[in-house]
Structure formats: C-alpha cells, structure tokens
Amino acid sequence: MRSFLKNNGLSLFFLALFLGALTGQAFAGHAALNEDALRHGDPTMSMGRYVLSSQFGGAVLENWQSEYLQFTLFILTTVWLLQRGSPESKPLDKAGRESDKDQKVGRHANQESPRWARVAGLRRTLFENSLLIVMAAIWVGSWFAQSVTGLSQYNAERLDHHQLPVSWLDYLGRADFWERTLENWQSEFLAVGSMAILAVYLRQRGSPESKPVGAPHEATGVEG
C-alpha cells in the first residue's frame, strides 16, 4: 500500500484535488444559481438536478477544453519550437521529430521498449503520436461538450426573452461561445509562455520542471 502511494503520488494527489475542487464547484454553483433564482422569484433547483444540468456541465467543460488545448499545443509546438535557457525546451540542436536512434524506435528499440515502438507501419505511427492524439481528442470532445451545453443555456435565455432559439452552427459564430472559449484560452497561453521563459532565470530546487539550481541560465533542456 505504501509503495502504491509512493509510486502514484502525483496522479493520486491531483485526482483527489480534482474531485475536491469539482465538489466545491458544484456546491458553490448550486448556491449561486439558487440565490439568483430567489432574487428573481423563480423556482430553485435541487443539487442532483444542478449537477446534471447544462449550467454545471458547461462551466466544467469550458475549463477542461482550454487545459487540454494547452497541453496539446505544448506537446506539438515543443517538437519544433525552442526556448534558449528553458527546461521546458529541448536542447537547441534537437528541433524536429529526431532520428529513429534518438527516439529508440524500429531496430534501435531495446528489449524494454514498448512493443509498438519496435514494429513498423501504422501501429508505430499511432504510438509515436499517441499522447498528442489522445490530448487533442479530449480537447475536441470537451470543446464540443462546451458548445452543446452552452447552446442549451443560450437558447433557454433566448426563450426567456421571447426570442427564437438558434442552431448549433449558428451558436458557434456567436459572441457568447467565443467569449467563454477565449477567456479560458488567454490564461492558458500566458501560463505556458511565462513558464517557458520564467524557468530560464528562476529555479525550484528538486523539481523536474526546473533546471538544477546551479545550472547556468543559458543551459537549455536540462531538467533538475
């Protein structure tokens, strides 16, 4: 049990944080919604109904999509784009997809390499890009979920104001959809860019996200 906790500390800790924050969001969102309903003399909603509502789903998913976009872009762009001095960047001479030897694929794979790294063809192409494919699929899936839950709220509001509902495609061009999208994107892009450049000159002893404390500011692609 102790070795399980030690070996999986990072994923367990963040899973617990996620569930705690999601629960907190549900309670706070439910309270805020009912406060607003009482102010307008509208009927209140039960917690169960709120958790299964488009309001809650939309609020959750619009944040998911931006996080997964952030990681998708970070995984993809760091193949080619470099940042001198950053531990988030590869060394300056490694831009690109690198050789089979560097990547330990095909005949350069060793006994411990995953089976799909040793084979050729479609299976290896899929495995070579599997992290990007899955992160991008989660991004697209959560952006889609954001769009349909957002549409449902948008149309409910339009009906309240005696306006006709709009279609999904129409909603994708509306300011409401893009405000909910871009307000999340901007923070992710700033966070990634600042992480790449701040880590050139700043350190966190013991963190693999930082260079070793004594590494020179110029050292690129060195993790502590």
Partner 1 sequence: MRPGELMRAMFVLYLVVIVVGLVLYSAIGLMHQ
In the complex, the residues that contact partner 1 under the rule CB under 8 A are: 3-4, 7-8, 11-12, 15, 18, 52-54, 57-58, 60-61, 64, 138, 141-142, 144-145, 147-152, 155-156, 168
Distance in Å, CB of 166 to partner 1, minimum: 11
Tell me whether residue 153 or residue 215 sits nearer to partner 1 (CB atom): 153
* Cβ–Cβ under 8 Å, residues 139 and 72: yes
Total H helices, total E strands in the chain = 9, 0
CA distances from 126 to 39, 49, 96, 102, 104 (A): 54, 40, 18, 18, 15
**Backbone dihedral region of 26: left (phi > 0), alpha (psi from -120 to 50 degrees) or beta?**
alpha
Least distance from C-beta 157 to partner 1, angstroms? 12
Q: Nearest Cα to 61, choosing from 169, 176, 140, 173?
A: 140
CB nearer partner 1, residue 18 or residue 178: 18
Give the three-class secondary structure for 27.
helix
Structure tokens of 85?
């001095």
Smallest separation, CB 24 to partner 1 (Å): 16
Least distance to partner 1, CB of residue 79, Å: 23
Judged by beta carbon, residue 141 or residue 224, the one nearer partner 1 is 141
Q: Is the Cβ of residue 1 or residue 175 nearer to partner 1 in the bound state?
A: 1
Radius of gyration of the chain (CA): 23
Nearer to partner 1, 70 or 149 (CB): 149
Nearest distance from residue 119's CB to partner 1, in Å? 20
